[in-house]
Amino acid sequence: MAKRLKVTQIKSKIGGKPNQRETLRSLGLKRIGDIIVKDDSLVVRGMVNTVAHLVKVEEID
């Protein structure tokens, strides 16, 4: 079974760079406390890496 990533937004996007705000929106995160679960892929890992300081990531099975 493929691994999945649980991504939680822990900080605000206000004051962030435009690409970071757009990355959060593309991930489906709109506000602090939002949680999404995505399949683990290079694309998702890259997006998470862009906003690593704004999110908490956990690997789940």
Mind listing the domains of the chain with CATH numbers?
4-60 (3.30.1390.20)
**pLDDT at residue number 2:** 83
**For all residues of the chain together, what is the average pLDDT?**
96
Task: Please indicate, yes or no, whether the overall pTM of this predicted structure exceeds 0.85.
Answer: yes
**pLDDT, average across residues 32-39:** 97
Q: Is the pLDDT of residue 1 over 70?
A: no
CA pair distance 13, 24, nearest whole angstrom: 8
**pLDDT, average across residues 10-39:** 97
**pLDDT at residue number 32:** 97
Alpha helices in the chain (DSSP H): 18-27, 42-50
